[in-house]
Amino acid sequence: MIFVRSLCGLLVLAALSQSRFAARQQGPPPGSPAPSQTSPADKLTPDDIATGQQLYAANCASCHGVDATGQLGPNLRGVVQRRGEQGVFGIVRNGMGGMPPVMSINDQRVWQVIGYLRTLGESGSKEAPTGDPAHGKAVYEAHGCATCHTIGTEGGSVGPPLTAIGRSRAPKYLSGFLLDPGKNPPSDMTLPERAMNTGYLLVHVVTKDGREMTAIRVNEDTFTITLRDVAGHFYTYDKNTLKAIEPEPGKSVMPSYGNLSATDRNDLVAYLASLKGTE
């Protein structure tokens, strides 16, 4: 059997991995900001902050970027202001989404990292969106973005949810993405042990009996590969049955919006940048 159509819950979860940051916020630790109280981060000295910067470089930068603007993991600039010191501490210790619990540094050192992150401010970029978010919302609706993306609870599931996209992506990234969606895709965080992989990667497969398909890779190991089409159907192939497996980096299932006027694109970016989540 080579053309297995699978809709098992496990794969659905894997496919929805890009929304895991939103979906897995249960219980207090990785949640909302703690009520205002004295935090261990308040007692840190400049030396502690400098140590925190080194700790960050050694322990966090590989996923969150050397400048904390996000890479495999999300942008951490402003994360302390958004989630509170205790909230960030909980995420570090308990993990979140694709991030495993960090147990290799002690509490004091976690606070030093938090102290350092607190100095980084709200945005990963000094650039502020210049467009009109209200008109951008109209552009979003007029061009059918909701067919594939969810904001809040409404929309499609082909692409990642955009409910809090303004927190993790700077306007410049969003603008570039609209022009060329395949150029700088998000990372696949479904299986951290697989190291850094491209998310929403289009893969073309050809079966030994000549059938072909191009769809989004949601899971791959040494023996199998699972693709998802835009209708949300999953296709798992035993690699022994495939003649070719051809990743297509640089391509995306999302079309380019280079046909938008500069004003419309700018306004759409401003709208997306304004989406900061529901909490």
Residue 59 found at the interface with other proteins (CB under 8 A): yes
Q: Which is nearer to other proteins, 174 or 201 (CB)?
A: 201
Beta carbon of residue 77, minimum distance to other proteins (angstroms, whole number): 17
The stretch among 23-31, 74-82, 103-111, 114-122 that binds other proteins (CB under 8 A) is: 103-111
Residue 37 found at the interface with other proteins (CB under 8 A): no
Q: Beta-carbon neighbour count of residue 139 at 10 Å? A: 23
Residue 6 found at the interface with other proteins (CB under 8 A): no
Q: Which is nearer to other proteins, 129 or 181 (CB)?
A: 181
> d(Cα 270, Cα 128) in Å, to the nearest integer?
9
The 61-80 site mask, x for binding other proteins (CB under 8 A), equals xxx-xx----xx--------
Question: Which amino acid type is present at position 45?
Answer: T
133-142 and 262-273 helices, crossing angle to 10°: 100
**35: exposed, middle or buried (C-beta count within 10 Å: 0-12, 13-18, 19+)?**
exposed
> d(Cα 250, Cα 225) in Å, to the nearest integer?
20
Count of residues for the chain? 279
Beta carbon of residue 30, minimum distance to other proteins (angstroms, whole number): 16
Question: Which amino acid type is present at position 105?
Answer: I
Please report, as ranges, the residues that interact with other proteins according to CB under 8 A: 50-51, 53-55, 57-59, 61-63, 65-66, 71-72, 103-107, 109, 187, 191, 193-198, 201, 220-223, 247, 249
